[in-house]
Amino acid sequence: MAIGRRKRLSKLTDYFYNELHGDLKKLEVQRKELASSVLYVGLVIAFFASLLTYALLFKSTHAHSEADFLPLLAGGGLFFFIKKHMSSSYAYGFKEKIIRPLIKEIDEALQYHKSHHVSQSYFERSRLFRKEIDRYSGNDLVRGEIEGVKLQFSDVHAQYRSRNSKGNSSWHTIFQGLFIVADFNKHFKGRTAVFPDRAEKVFGRLIGSWLQKQNMQREELIKMDDPEFEKHFVVYGSDQIESRYILTHAMMKRLLDYKKRSKVPLYVSFSASQIYLALEHKKDLFEPTLFTSLLDYALIKEYISTLQLAVGIIDELKLNERLWSKE
Amino acid sequence: MTVWIVLGVLAFVLMLMYNTLISHKNQVENIFASVDTVLKKRYDLIPNLVASVQQYMSHEKELLEKITQWRSLAMKPGVSDEQKISLDKQVTGALGSIMVAVENYPDLKANENVMHLQRTLLELEEQISAARRAYNQAVTDYNNIIEMFPTNFMANLMRYSRKAVFETAEHERKTVDVKVLFKS
């Protein structure tokens, strides 16, 4: 399996260089022009905002307050707004000319919707993140059916708002990264959730496992009989037996491999005949760079491998091997 | 006053220990009940399986007789949990051998009824394996608590003793490749 996957990665890289490199070079020219004009706009805004702040702080006689720094804040906001506006056609070109053909090349059956995302109800149904969501956004939705398994994934950003004693609100990230939903090949009634194991890592096995047991927010703690898996993950579920029916030794090994390959924290849950995977990248994926070269090989590899990892769950977790009861 | 506080704390600690032991014992019993249910489902399949294959399988007569025998032993009322565990091990082994033997009989391999039984058994094996693993974990937790300080004193008084676990067969740790199994 691993060999097959690597082969496909090299095949995709070949495809990228043969078919898309020309477009990428054109985009690189566009990027350089854009980067210098964005820089220019930035400098102009910074100059005027600093001038105004300077005047407010040192040249006026009113009582000074935090509000004197407002021009800097407004300048920053203005800059990001203009930057987004200026780069929209560049980002559009990148997604249409690079990301879309790449997804088609990975699998013909996949559809790409660059401004859609996995719906919030799926995200909530996974029950991986309990915090109430105040703002939910995302983009780059990919969906399709491969070997009878329905799959969809996208970039997702879920946030909540908090207010301090002065009534100022601030936004905090609940989750940002790749969110994947797919059909699961076994029947089950309850819920099982797999989280990165933080308690055991920090506090050691004995205290960590005791702390996990005290976690009232979650369901029953399920101790798994794979030491390597237990080291990286903690499992909660509604049924001791069902969770093990889902997480067979083979499945635990595959999830571990998947986690190692993805190199980011992995959350997995099983609910309502589906598997949900959340890969915490903490950044917006599939976006073109502005101030560094688009032609950088590491960058290209990241785009390809992230896409492939998402589509690859069907093969890697063997979701296409249906048990007779689900035929 | 102090004496009462000390006694109160002591009583509380004893109660906590007692309840922990009881909850562990009950967890083991609850999960064993589920193990028993799936094992029964598999035992229910055996007469059908034996009836379907015995006319073809001339070399495995002994094995088929044995498995029928073990089944009736396991179905008898009043069989202890330990006996059930050891019978399960024998039956799992024998069923595995029968499934391998089926490969040698082209007529059987093509038989729809046998194929269906094979698939049902495979699905049941997955469920049994999950139930066994859950049971083993519950027993391990139970065995730990009755041997660890300070609950071991209380466990001794309550006459709790170690319980046996299911041995995990090596093949369970391997990936079951459904495609290979059903290749005809």
Q: What's the whole-number mean pLDDT along residues A270-286?
A: 92
Task: Find the closest chain A residue to B174 by CA distance.
Answer: A250
Query: What number of C-beta contacts closer than 8 Å exist between A and B?
Result: 47
Q: Is residue A33 predicted with pLDDT exceeding 60?
A: yes
pLDDT of residue A112: 95
Nearest chain B Cα distance for residue A185, angstroms: 12
ipTM over 0.95: no
Instruction: Please tell me which of the candidates A223, A242, A321 has its beta carbon nearest to residue B179.
Output: A321
Of residues A131, A128, A223, the one with CA closest to residue A172: A131
For residue A101, give Cα distances in angstroms to A94, A106, A155, A286. Answer: 11, 9, 18, 13
Nearest chain B Cα distance for residue A257, angstroms: 14
Can you name the residues that pair with A196 across neighbouring β-strands? A233
Residue count (chain A): 327
CB contact (8 A) between residue B129 and residue A323? no
Round to whole Å and give the CA distance between B118 and B102.
10
Query: What tokens does A227 get?
Result: 């030491």
Residues 251 to 290 of A: which have CB under 8 A from any B CB? 253
**Domain regions of chain A by residue span:** 2-187+273-326
pTM score, whole prediction: 0.83
SS3 assignment, position A125: helix
Query: What tokens does B142 get?
Result: 């139970």
What does the pLDDT look like over A160-217, one tens digit per residue? Answer: 999 888 888 899 999 999 999 999 988 899 999 999 987 766 666 667 667 766 665 6
With an 8 Å Cβ cutoff, is B183 touching chain A?
Answer: no
Q: What percent of chain A has pLDDT over 90?
A: 51
Q: What is the largest CA-CA distance in chain B?
A: 85
Look-up of token digits 């890592």: A201
CB contact (8 A) between residue A249 and residue B173? yes
Instruction: Please tell me which of the candidates A225, A249, A250 has its beta carbon nearest to residue B137.
Output: A225
With an 8 Å Cβ cutoff, is B79 touching chain A?
Answer: no
Kind plus residue range of the DSSP H or E element containing A280 = strand A274-280
Kind plus residue range of the DSSP H or E element containing A145 = strand A135-146
**Are the CB atoms for A286 and A294 separated by under 8 Å?**
no
Count of alpha carbons within 13 angstroms of residue A71, beta-carbon side:
14
What does the pLDDT look like over A63-115, one tens digit per residue? Answer: 777 777 888 888 889 998 998 888 889 999 999 999 999 999 988 899 999 99
> Higher confidence at residue A316 or residue A254?
A254
**Are the CB atoms for A144 and A161 separated by under 8 Å?**
no
pLDDT of residue A172: 94
SS3 assignment, position A59: helix
Domains identified in chain B and CATH numbers: 27-181 (1.20.1440.20)
Nearest chain A Cα distance for residue B67, angstroms: 25
Round to whole Å and give the CA distance between A126 and A139.
19
